[in-house]
Amino acid sequence: MSIEWIIRIVVEYWPMFLRGAGVTLLIALIGTVFGALIGLLSGVLRTIPMPEKGSKRLLLKVVNLILSAYIEFFRGTPMIVQAMVIFYGAAMAFGYQMDPLIAGIVIVSINTGAYMAEIVRGGIISVDQGQYEAAQAIGMNHVQTMMNVVLPQVIRNILPATGNQFIINIKDTAVLSVISISELFFQTNSIAGNNFRYFESFFVVCIIYFIMTYTVTLILRYIERRMDGPANYVIAGEMDTAEDIKRKTTGA
């Protein structure tokens, strides 16, 4: 009977599931954070206004070209293939076996970075031009404008997309089992191979994946609400009416 088997599998194998879930979350979380940072950096670089002449212009063009190539290449090939190429490529090039966990984090980061770069670029473009102009008008340079005015708004704008990417990463780390990372999918495969109860084992892991992704969704919604701040503000000195304020400001 299936239900009995499901319970038996949970009871018997929970430490393996737990370890697998831990590895999956670790790779997905670190990969998303690094990917978001790569995306932010690349987004900022790709929106620097092009100087009209000089060596800076050439440098910026080269940087833009490299970034475009990176984004297009990693968006245009499957992560499972990238994993094979990077893992076995590194082994061939440097003659040593990368720690699969490190390799997994690197692959997910680079992959996420390629997606996030475009998301961030869109997020930067969608910030009203007036915000840049106001920052420039008080004397901020590009970096100051980005750090103090634009990026905080971009981060708020891209938060839903980043959360989405995190959820995708939780699911897609499953493909990393091809380079023998003992993440959740790999563990489940071992469990099922042990007891030949494929349906029950994968049914359990299905629920585990869903719990992980849904928890992340809830956490992200909470963070978004926190970032938007309270809907109301307190006027200094509290409860001042418009009349009070007028009286104060006119000094009467």
- On whether the CB atoms of residues 162 and 116 are closer than 8 A, the answer is yes
- On whether the CB atoms of residues 82 and 103 are closer than 8 A, the answer is no
Q: Which of 138, 196, 218, 225 binds another protein (CB under 8 A)?
A: 138
Region from 23-31, 133-141, 169-177, 178-186 binding another protein, contact rule CB under 8 A: 133-141
Is the C-alpha dihedral spanning 84, 78, 37, 26 positive or negative? negative
Q: Which of 29, 90, 156, 220 binds another protein (CB under 8 A)?
A: 156
Give me the least distance between CB of 44 and another protein, in Å please: 16
Region from 6-14, 69-77, 144-152, 202-210 binding another protein, contact rule CB under 8 A: 144-152
Residue 190 engages another protein in binding (rule: CB under 8 A): no
Give me the least distance between CB of 164 and another protein, in Å please: 22
Residue 246 engages another protein in binding (rule: CB under 8 A): yes
In terms of Cβ atoms closer than 10 Å to its own Cβ (0-12, 13-18, 19+), residue 27 is buried
Q: Which of 50, 81, 91, 245 binds another protein (CB under 8 A)?
A: 245
- Indicate the residue type of 44: V
Residue 153 engages another protein in binding (rule: CB under 8 A): yes
Give me the least distance between CB of 119 and another protein, in Å please: 18
Residue 136 engages another protein in binding (rule: CB under 8 A): yes
- Distance between CA 30 and CA 98 in Å, rounded? 17
Nearest C-alpha neighbor of 21 from the set 173, 154, 144: 173
Which residues lie below 8 Å from residue 29, measured CB to CB, with a gap of 6+?
166
- Distance between CA 58 and CA 50 in Å, rounded? 10
Phi and psi torsions of 52, nearest 5°: -75, -30
| Helix count and strand count (H, E) for the chain | 10, 0
Region from 71-79, 111-119, 149-157, 203-211 binding another protein, contact rule CB under 8 A: 149-157
Query: Residue 218 or residue 236: which is nearer to another protein going by CB?
Result: 236
Window 222-241: residues binding another protein (CB under 8 A): 229, 232-237, 240
Region from 40-48, 141-149, 181-189, 210-218 binding another protein, contact rule CB under 8 A: 141-149
Nearest C-alpha neighbor of 85 from the set 178, 166, 185, 182: 178
Residues near another protein (CB under 8 A): 128, 130-131, 133-141, 144, 148-149, 152-153, 156, 229, 232-237, 240, 245-246, 248-249
